[in-house]
């Protein structure tokens, strides 16, 4: 135990205000430059430059985009529900910006005035708080689609509500094994479980939960291949078709903020948060105001762990963008089938499997620690093998051509099978090709 000293009420209030200001500023700047990062990654994937005109290598492009949105004209459809039309972007963006408050970003910071937790609000229901607020964002999308008095926007809002509700279930179920192993829903305790108690990142014993979580997170943020609420090829722009200027920009800020929050949660819940692998010098947890269990806190450790946490988060942000510019969009029936016919059942089965395994390990006297985690890892490997190689096999997520009633040809596409008819005979190499009709007419 290391007693650093607790903050006085005045120092605590000043530290809280500073953390809020710094966190909000950092998030807004990060979200702004995530738009530039996505366009740069898209250019890299598509073998082009991306934005490169505003500032050196396009570094000032987010500022130009923000100024453009501020200066653009605000539009309001004639028959729109004015109050809800204006309210919808606010409902979408507020939950996205508040969820950062419960995520620990670094090791505790020792100061001359006392120990400062590197989390704005270490609430005892951190995971539940994030799930509750992320679910509120769906109301903003539904209100935007309904209040616009536009059929395409309305369809986008309906799709958003159905999709977000469907995958909110899978998202919550994928986190239950995390809560079972950590024994707590506080994010700081989840980080400590991976650092000191279990000694393993939860991505190892709960790899299947991590996969279910990342798929559900893609759907929750409405990113490709789950961007059916927008689906520009079908719905113009979906729920925000009638929005312009800063109202439209608020929806984009909310989307990128949700993406950043999901990336931070992946790093925190499954990859140790700010934990540095293969080093015990950062393994610490605040057990009382000003009292730290584990390694001794230091300023340089706080800065180093913050850099590690930011690096882990940006890895998952890159994965979001990589998938966005690599995979095509699912069909809507595939999205619903994946959520209710695959993720829901698999998440429930994995909860039962992990619970039964933990019960057996407790009965036979295996102590909670690295050996306990390695046994769970072995069980997880078997579960993942069954899931990836046995469960689906193109039964749910498959192309339209693989559906029942289509025959795959060897060298050319797919041929529909009509009931009562046989498949057409393929011409052989020695058969002459049929002459075009106009050629036959010219010969006559």
277-330 residue pLDDT tens:
888 888 888 888 888 988 889 999 999 999 999 999 999 999 999 998 888 888
> What is the pLDDT, as a whole number, of residue 138?
82
Q: Confidence band (pLDDT; 50, 70, 90) for 187?
A: very high
**Region of poorest pLDDT, from 22-31, 176-185, 248-257, 414-423:** 414-423
> What is the pLDDT, as a whole number, of residue 123?
86
> What is the pLDDT, as a whole number, of residue 179?
93
Q: Confidence band (pLDDT; 50, 70, 90) for 174?
A: very high
> What is the pLDDT, as a whole number, of residue 105?
93
Per-chain mean pLDDT for the chain: 84
> What is the pLDDT, as a whole number, of residue 234?
66
> What is the pLDDT, as a whole number, of residue 209?
94
Q: Confidence band (pLDDT; 50, 70, 90) for 69?
A: confident
Between the alpha carbon of residue 354 and those of residues 174, 403, 438, the distances in Å are: 12, 34, 70
The proportion of the chain whose per-residue pLDDT surpasses 90, expressed as a percent, equals: 39
105-136 residue pLDDT tens:
999 999 989 999 999 988 888 888 888 888 78
Residue 403 has pLDDT above 60, yes or no: no
**What's the pTM value of the predicted model, to 2 decimals?**
0.85
Residue 441 has pLDDT above 70, yes or no: no
Residue 222 has pLDDT above 90, yes or no: no
d(CA 48, CA 40): 9
d(CA 343, CA 94): 28
Residue 214 has pLDDT above 70, yes or no: yes
> What is the pLDDT, as a whole number, of residue 99?
87
Determine whether 290 is exposed, middle or buried from the number of CB atoms within 10 Å of its CB (0-12, 13-18, 19+): middle
Residue 407 has pLDDT above 70, yes or no: no
Residue 357 has pLDDT above 90, yes or no: yes
- Cα four-point dihedral sign 302, 307, 308, 312: positive
For the residues 272-279, what does the mean pLDDT come to? 90
Residue 411 has pLDDT above 60, yes or no: no
Helix ranges restricted to H, 107-243: 126-147, 151-182, 187-192, 207-220, 232-235
Q: Report whether the peptide linkage leading into residue 287 is cis, meaning its omega lies within 30 degrees of zero.
A: no
**Region of poorest pLDDT, from 16-20, 225-229, 357-361:** 225-229
Strand order in 2-3's β-sheet? 2-3, 291-294, 284-288
């Amino acid at each position: 135990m290391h007693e650093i000293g607790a903050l006085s009420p005045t120092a605590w209030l000043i530290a809280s205000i500073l953390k809020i200001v710094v966190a909000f500023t950092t998030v807004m700047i990060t979200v702004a430059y995530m738009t530039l990062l996505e366009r740069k990654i898209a250019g890299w994937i598509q073998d082009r430059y991306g934005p490169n005109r505003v500032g050196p290598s396009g570094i000032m492009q987010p500022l130009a985009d923000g100024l453009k949105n501020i200066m653009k004209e605000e539009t309001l459809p004639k028959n729109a529900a004015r109050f809800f039309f204006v309210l919808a972007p606010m409902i979408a963006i507020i939950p996205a910006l508040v969820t950062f408050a419960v995520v620990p970003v670094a090791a505790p910071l020792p100061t001359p005035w006392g120990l400062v937790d590197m989390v704005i609000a270490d609430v005892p229901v951190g995971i539940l708080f994030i799930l509750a607020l992320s679910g509120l964002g769906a109301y903003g999308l539904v209100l935007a689609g309904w209040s616009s008095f536009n059929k395409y926007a309305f369809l986008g809002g309906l799709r958003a509500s159905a999709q977000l509700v469907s995958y909110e279930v899978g998202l919550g179920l994928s986190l239950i094994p995390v809560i079972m192993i950590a024994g707590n829903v506080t994010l700081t305790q989840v980080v400590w479980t991976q650092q000191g108690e279990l000694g393993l990142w939860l991505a190892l014993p709960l790899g299947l939960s991590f996969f279910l979580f990342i798929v559900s997170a893609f759907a929750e943020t409405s990113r490709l291949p789950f961007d059916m609420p927008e689906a520009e090829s079908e719905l113009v722009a979906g729920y925000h078709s009638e929005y312009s200027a800063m109202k439209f920009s608020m929806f984009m800020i909310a989307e990128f903020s949700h993406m950043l929050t999901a990336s931070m949660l992946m790093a925190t819940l499954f990859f140790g948060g700010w934990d540095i692998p293969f080093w015990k010098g950062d393994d610490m947890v605040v057990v009382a105001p000003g009292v730290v269990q584990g390694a001794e806190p230091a300023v340089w450790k706080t800065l180093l762990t913050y850099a590690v946490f930011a690096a882990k988060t940006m890895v998952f942000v890159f994965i979001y963008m990589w998938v966005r510019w690599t995979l095509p969009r699912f069909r809507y029936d595939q999205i619903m089938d994946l959520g209710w016919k695959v993720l829901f059942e698999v998440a429930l089965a994995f909860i039962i499997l992990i619970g039964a395994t933990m019960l057996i390990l407790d009965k036979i006297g295996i102590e909670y620690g690295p050996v306990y985690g390695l046994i769970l890892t072995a069980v997880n490997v078997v579960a993942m093998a069954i899931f990836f190689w046995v469960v689906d096999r193109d039964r749910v997520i498959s192309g339209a051509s693989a559906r029942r009633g289509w025959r795959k040809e060897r060298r050319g596409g797919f041929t529909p099978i009509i009931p009562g008819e046989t498949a057409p005979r393929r011409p052989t190499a020695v058969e002459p090709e049929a002459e075009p009709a106009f050629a036959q007419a010219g010969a006559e």
